[in-house]
Structure 1
Amino acid sequence: MKQSICGQQPLVLLGRNILLNVVQYYITKPSKEVGKRLRLKKLPGYPHEYGFGYYYQGDILLRPGKKNRFAVTSPTNYDVWPNATVPYEIEADFTDEETETLLAAFAQFESSTCVRFVQRTDELEYVTITNNGEGCYSYVGRDSDPAYNTLNLQTPGCMNSVSTPVHELMHAIGFMHEQSRPDRDTYIQFFPQNLAPKYQNANFINTNFAIYNGTSTTYGQPYDFVSVMHYSRFAAAATSIFPVLVKRNDNQAELGNDDGLSAGDVAQVMARYCPDD
């Protein structure tokens, strides 16, 4: 007998609240509690989804004063890295294997797009890559204050495949989550009743599962179910049995991927950083 995806938890009756165009704003700070979760590895979903309840949408740190300034990507350019070049500095004790994983993540961008990650010399704006025990997270886009250009990849949890480093690098160059697109509900069904019980409230849902408004841009690209920026089916789920996000007309389809940039991701990066290529 085919199992229902609706789950067994009581339905949270939020009506249109889950479709808010304005995402509730809050400033987030790194948390060791997220690191503990990742070490235990008892939750379903990708490693960069372990920060729910601590980080915005699971893995994003928000800067002060940047309320609702972006969506899938922002149509403005103030958070874009000039000349498609991202200086970085590693303040982490990665193993040789983990370093290779990070370099492989850089290489995906360099082989498919015009974006380049280069070791910092004397640049004032750069990404600092750390591996503190605080999970996987990044700020979104470039900031004039290096303190707000940090990207963390806790080891080993965030470095078991190339996809999480690529996901966080996408945030660092200014991209948000695919399932936050204004057209998400045309393609994806959201089952709030399958969230972990502590997340079944309007505040959590409106903050972490809202769709963005018309100020966002998708550069005319179709919805990408396998984007490295897409949540898994079980993001913030109570169990790995009942999914939270489901592709319409194919409720067994996987969402996101464990390999890195999809063709759709490449198209988005090219449209934003290399429109003339």
Structure 2
Amino acid sequence: MKVTALPQTDWNVAMLDEIIAAVPPGQNLAQVGDMQILVEKLRTWRNQVAGGTVINFAFDGIAPAWTGGNLYYTFDASVSPAKKKAFLDGAAEWAMFANLRFIPRTAQANYFTVKENPSLGGGQSALGMVGGQQFLEIGPGSWNRATICHELGHTLGLVHEHQRSDRDAFVTILTNNIAAGYASSFVKLGNTLNTGAYDFFSVMHYRRDAFSVSPDVLDTIQPLPAYAQYLDVIGKQYDQILSPGDRAGMAAKYGAGPVLTSVVTTTLDSGPGSLRAALYYALDHPGTTITFNIPTSDPGFAGGVFTIQPTDSFPGLMRATILDGSSQPTNSNPNGPEIVLNGALCDPASVYSDGLRLLGSNCVVQSFIINGFSGSGIVIDGTNATGNSVRGCYLGLNSAGTASATNRYYPLIISGGASGNTVGGTNAAARNILSGSAYEGLIIRDSGTRNNTVQGNYIGVNATGSAALSNATAGVSIYGGAQGNVIGGTNTDAANVISGNTFQGLGISGANTRGNVVAGNLIGLNPAGNTAMPNGWSGVSIFGGAQSNLIGGTSAAARNLISGNSLQGVTVSDLGTTGNVIAGNYIGLN
């Protein structure tokens, strides 16, 4: 990142005339992509180009910084309270990494107004401090953290990463694929002040098919062959919104930000002491253990729990990060964990914000209540996600563990080639409660998703195991080529209770879904194994071409108790569903 200079470029007269002509009378800023640049500057460049004496020329200064890092703002009446909070949380994210302060305007001459623009599908903003009132505008469906931080980047003085002066050594712009009217968003800007190496991860980088004549088909930006691995990375802020380059670039422009630590001391979304700040700290410090020490005076403390309500997803866990909710010293919730992550404020819901994402190796998530997110509670995803553990969590429940407080999708999903991860454990403290979901309680899916272990959990029942708390479909679904995963085990404390679900307790399906083992579980019974808590269909279903899976085993320790279900104990169906072994189980008995 970071382009902070105003540049030299290959503008032509026709392009400049088109941009200037589009400026309404009396307005001093011209629209250049999603940036707004002073009209007088554009007219100067146009006259220079038309004179024929200057082909490439430099801007005569840098995008003006906000004096002292103080940004004064107002909100237009079009911005709802929820969107105001989303915006301020995004501003606080930038302010964690540079000497910045976002201050409500009283009578300051230079300030920006945040407004909602119903004609926008993304956002637009003035570049740097232009003087007087300027605007930062966001479309109705675009109040996500990536868009907010991108547009704030412009307001703070950054232009697009793919327009920096050295971009031709890293990417190719496919000009024939750019939709009419958007060429100015891709013009290379010369003589830029580039802080750090070219940053494919920058929040200021466009995605590969931005403003394409045929999105999802024709690219407008492609990394050069040496950087081809970044093709599906650019412009996709799926994980941390601000890259290391973004953070370093802003600090270079405005000065260093506050010192961040691994201790969470507030329920705020962003800022020093927040969970988001601690997760960024962990990204920069492999092997970090994040602990909690939030005072009961915090506004997020109520009902014995500390509730953190982010307005967008948190950075993913990587690099052997341990996230330990049990470290909160206040033992205030006798019914379960003290730290709640609730996604009710994530906006817009269509972004599918997940509670936590484990994307690297050897990470631990321990003792959280995660509910109300528009995606899933916990996602363990990708081939880099190995050796992670999730234990002692209530996923999709209230803080008492007695009622559903569902995420939109699954309590927990393991996917995308994640391997060698553990959900639960062989003691009560490690037990996860995966119940009350609108879909399955647990998903294990995709080719390469293998050798994961699920043990000691309650799936479809409440936290005490005293009553059903149904997942709306199956308890556990394994499909899509997932192989070699173990549900339960031969240790007496490895048993999962998979009961009370609306469909089958456990389903294994699909071609190449093979070698999975289901052993030592209670399926359709209470934790004591003496009272029925029926799954609505069968206890176990194997179908759709799944092959060579094992239900039970030859030892007593491998025996599943599959009883009390509303329909069959075990079903095997469909052409190609072959080689599966069902052995040594108690079916229909206690």
TM-score (norm 2): 0.34
- What SS does the corresponding residue of 2:35 show, helix, strand or coil? coil
Point out the structure with the larger helix share: 1
- Residue matched to 1:233: 208
Aligned pair partner of 2:158 in 157, 175, 179:
175
How many Å separate the matches in 2 of 1:181 and 1:77? 13
Shift in alpha-carbon separation, 1:75–1:179, aligned structure 2, 3 A: farther
- Residue matched to 1:163: 146
- What SS does the corresponding residue of 2:189 show, helix, strand or coil? coil
Higher RCO (CA 8 Å, separation ≥ 6 residues): 1
How many Å separate the matches in 1 of 2:165 and 2:242? 21
Aligned pair partner of 2:186 in 200, 209, 212:
209
Aligned pair partner of 1:61 in 36, 55, 68:
36
How many Å separate the matches in 2 of 1:171 and 1:193? 26
1:1-277 matches, within 5 Å, as 21-24=9-12, 25=16, 26-27=19-20, 29=23, 55-57=31-33, 59-67=34-42, 76=61, 79-135=64-120, 136-146=123-133, 149-155=134-140, 157-159=141-143, 161-196=144-179, 198=180, 205=183, 207-214=184-191, 216-219=192-195, 221-239=196-214, 240-249=216-225, 250=228, 252-258=231-237, 259-274=240-255
- Residue matched to 1:5: none
Alignment-mate amino acid for residue 251 of structure 2: M
Shift in alpha-carbon separation, 1:224–1:78, aligned structure 2, 3 A: closer
Percent identity between matched residues is: 24
Shift in alpha-carbon separation, 1:242–1:131, aligned structure 2, 3 A: same
- Taking only aligned residues, the RMSD between alpha carbons, in angstroms, comes to 2.7
Q: In the TM superposition, what whole-angstrom CA distance separates every residue of 1:46-95 from its partner, at most 9, and x where no partner exists?
A: xxxxxxxx9412x12222212389xxxx8946711000110001113333
How many Å separate the matches in 2 of 1:212 and 1:78? 13
Alignment-mate amino acid for residue 158 of structure 1: S
What displacement does 1:193 show?
A: 3.0
- Residue matched to 2:350: none
CA contact (8 A) 1:23 1:212 kept: no
- What residue ranges of structure 2 are gaps of 5+ in the alignment? 1-7, 25-29, 46-58, 259-590
CA contact (8 A) 1:91 1:128 kept: yes
Alignment-mate amino acid for residue 145 of structure 1: G
Structure number, greater radius of gyration: 2
Alignment-mate amino acid for residue 274 of structure 1: G
Shift in alpha-carbon separation, 1:145–1:103, aligned structure 2, 3 A: closer
What displacement does 1:117 show?
A: 1.1
CA contact (8 A) 2:79 2:115 kept: no
- What SS does the corresponding residue of 1:62 show, helix, strand or coil? strand
How many Å separate the matches in 2 of 1:231 and 1:101? 22
CA contact (8 A) 1:246 1:253 kept: no
Q: In the TM superposition, what whole-angstrom CA distance separates every residue of 1:4-27 from its partner, at most 9, and x where no partner exists?
A: xxxxxxxxxxxxxxxx82335334
How many Å separate the matches in 2 of 1:245 and 1:77? 26
What displacement does 1:191 show?
A: 1.8
TM-score (norm 1): 0.70
CA contact (8 A) 1:189 1:248 kept: yes
What displacement does 1:272 show?
A: 1.1
How many Å separate the matches in 2 of 1:229 and 1:208? 12
- What SS does the corresponding residue of 1:152 show, helix, strand or coil? strand
CA contact (8 A) 1:158 1:164 kept: yes
- What residue ranges of structure 1 are gaps of 5+ in the alignment? 1-19, 31-53
How many Å separate the matches in 2 of 1:144 and 1:133? 25
**Which stretch shows the higher mean deviation, 93-102 or 136-145?**
93-102
CA contact (8 A) 2:99 2:256 kept: no
- What SS does the corresponding residue of 1:232 show, helix, strand or coil? coil
